[in-house]
Chain A
Amino acid sequence: MDVEADRDLELVRQAVEGAKGLPNNHYIDQATYEEEREVLLFNNWAGIGLGSDIPNPGDVSPVNFAGMPLLMVRNHEGDIQVFQNTCRHRGMMLVEKNCNLRGTIRCPYHSWSYNLDGSLRATPHVGGPGMNIDKHIVRKDLGLIKINTYVWRDIVFVNVSGTAPTFREYASKLLKRWHEHEQPMYHGGPVSGFNFDVACNWKLAVENYCESYHLPWIHPGLNSYSRLEDHYHIEEPGHFSGQGTLVYRQIIGDHGETFPDFKNLSKFWDTGAEYIVLFPNVMLATQRDHGYAIILLPQGPERTIERNEIFYSFDPETRPDLKALIEKNSVQWRGVLEEDLFVIEGMQKGRHGIFFDGGKFSPVMDSPTHVFHKWVGDKLHASRYGNS
């Protein structure tokens, strides 16, 4: 790493009052993107998809995670495991599209076949036509590469490098903060999931989500019932940051109906709601009656797919009377979240200005964003020089 890049990172890692934001190369440069892909996305626990993408035993779903081919599998016992989606023979991509498998995963090239637990079951003609064994082909050593997997709130998290602590340890502070919501959550169905294909670096979505400074300007409608002074910062350096509100109001249907609350919540949640990014790439909302997750799927330095997914305290199948309200809620959230897109795309464009220096934080308003930048800076520094 060059001296200039290191000096820039030192500025990012300072206390917010004197800090600069991450410089342009962290948003537009391929080499920096690749370094961050490894250090930020692969070495930590990142979200890649949902359990409800593969609802039935035998369902499999390929995910291209920042260029890495992964395969989410729900086995016949109903458990979810992620594998590298690459055949151990000649490296063919195993599964190209979502499907249900009654038996093995068969490689489309030479038909090596894997059980849903990843073990290699068959190696047809490997010892010549009609001979399926060979002393040099040791099947037990040739199973699919397992990726550390954990499902929380229906989000499938992976630690690609295998070097992070367990998910529950990694996310322990957030799990503790939101322990009251540690209860079943149900995806709202097709209307409750929508994607945005955004022309920006994935970090800009995180940075915008962390802060409430932009609310009065970007979400004037939201602001009418969610005033800036009713918001507070959420900062857990090294783990997550975001914002909370004290005046959350439930959405009400055309016939006065509301969503049922999660069970046994304390008084705080009557009007409290929190919006937190669990670093690196999962943006979450926790409220009394529903929550959502936004999973950021980086497609390159300047392009990101945002998966927006809304969850409820009840199984929507059991409450047809709330179908209209679920739809209304999706429309409302979609509207709010869409309002942010021109901002994050605009910040991306701004980062092609060669004199932009990473920007100046407001110590009062931008500190949650700085918590994220400092996390990025600290991780990159530790990866380059060890923890010092």
Chain B
Amino acid sequence: MSIPDFEKYNQLVLDLFEKEKFEELACLYLEWGKKLLALGKLDEGCFFLTQGYVLALEHGMEETVEIYEILNNHERED
């Protein structure tokens, strides 16, 4: 897939994984996912939102609600 800023985000993701900063990572996925959706990249956007969703669930984050809504609206989660 051709994704803008791919290298930049990729490096951030790897760093946060490495440092086990999963809450920041969830937010990063959310930010990136929304950006891709805005660009009309539905599959890519939902992929990263899903990554963020699972981490947000695991860490009991309030972002869970927002991500769920987006995924659910796109019939990607129920």
Q: When the two chains form the complex, which single residue of A102, A105, A121, A124 contacts B50, counting CB atoms closer than 8 Å? A: A124
Q: Is A133 an interface residue (CB 8 A)?
A: yes
Closest-CB distance, B1 to chain A (whole angstroms): 9
Complex: A106 Cα to B47 Cα, angstroms: 17
Contact (Cβ within 8 A) A101 B71: no
Interface size on B, residues (CB 8 A): 25
Contact (Cβ within 8 A) B43 A104: no
Q: When the two chains form the complex, which single residue of A103, A104, A105, A132 contacts B71, counting CB atoms closer than 8 Å? A: A132
Q: Is A125 an interface residue (CB 8 A)?
A: yes
Closest-CB distance, B56 to chain A (whole angstroms): 8
Contact (Cβ within 8 A) A130 B43: yes
How many A-B contacts are there with CB distance less than 8 Å? 58
Contact (Cβ within 8 A) B77 A133: yes
Contact (Cβ within 8 A) A103 B60: yes
Closest B residue to A111 by CB, please name it.
B54
Question: Which residues from 41 to 69 on chain B have a C-beta closer than 8 Å to any C-beta of chain A?
Answer: 42-51, 53-61, 64
Q: Is A122 an interface residue (CB 8 A)?
A: yes
Contact (Cβ within 8 A) B54 A122: yes
Contact (Cβ within 8 A) B58 A133: no
Q: A125-B47, A130-B43, A130-B50 are in contact. Are A113 and B57 (CB under 8 A)?
A: yes
Complex: A121 Cα to B60 Cα, angstroms: 13
Q: When the two chains form the complex, which single residue of A103, A125, A132 contacts B58, counting CB atoms closer than 8 Å? A: A103
Closest-CB distance, A131 to chain B (whole angstroms): 6
Q: When the two chains form the complex, which single residue of B43, B53, B75 contacts A129, counting CB atoms closer than 8 Å? A: B43
Q: Is B78 an interface residue (CB 8 A)?
A: yes
Contact (Cβ within 8 A) B76 A104: no
In the complex, what residues of B have CB within 8 A of residue A132's CB?
50, 53, 71, 76-77
Complex: A129 Cα to B51 Cα, angstroms: 10
Closest-CB distance, B45 to chain A (whole angstroms): 7
Contact (Cβ within 8 A) A102 B46: no
Q: Which of A102, A111, A129, A132 has the most CB of B within 10 A?
A: A132
In the complex, what residues of A have CB within 8 A of residue B53's CB?
122, 124, 132
Contact (Cβ within 8 A) A104 B50: no
Per-position binary interface string of chain A over residues 118-145, scored 1 when its CB falls under 8 Å from any chain B CB and 0 otherwise: 0001101100011111000000000000
Complex: A17 Cα to B57 Cα, angstroms: 63
Q: When the two chains form the complex, which single residue of A102, A106, A131 contacts B76, counting CB atoms closer than 8 Å? A: A131
Which residues in A have some Cβ–Cβ distance to B below 8 Å? 101-106, 111, 113, 121-122, 124-125, 129-133
28 A–B contacts, CB within 8 A, in A order: A101-B58, A102-B58, A102-B59, A102-B60, A103-B57, A103-B59, A103-B64, A105-B58, A106-B57, A106-B58, A113-B54, A113-B57, A122-B53, A122-B54, A124-B50, A124-B53, A124-B54, A125-B50, A129-B46, A130-B45, A130-B46, A130-B49, A130-B50, A132-B50, A132-B76, A133-B75, A133-B76, A133-B78
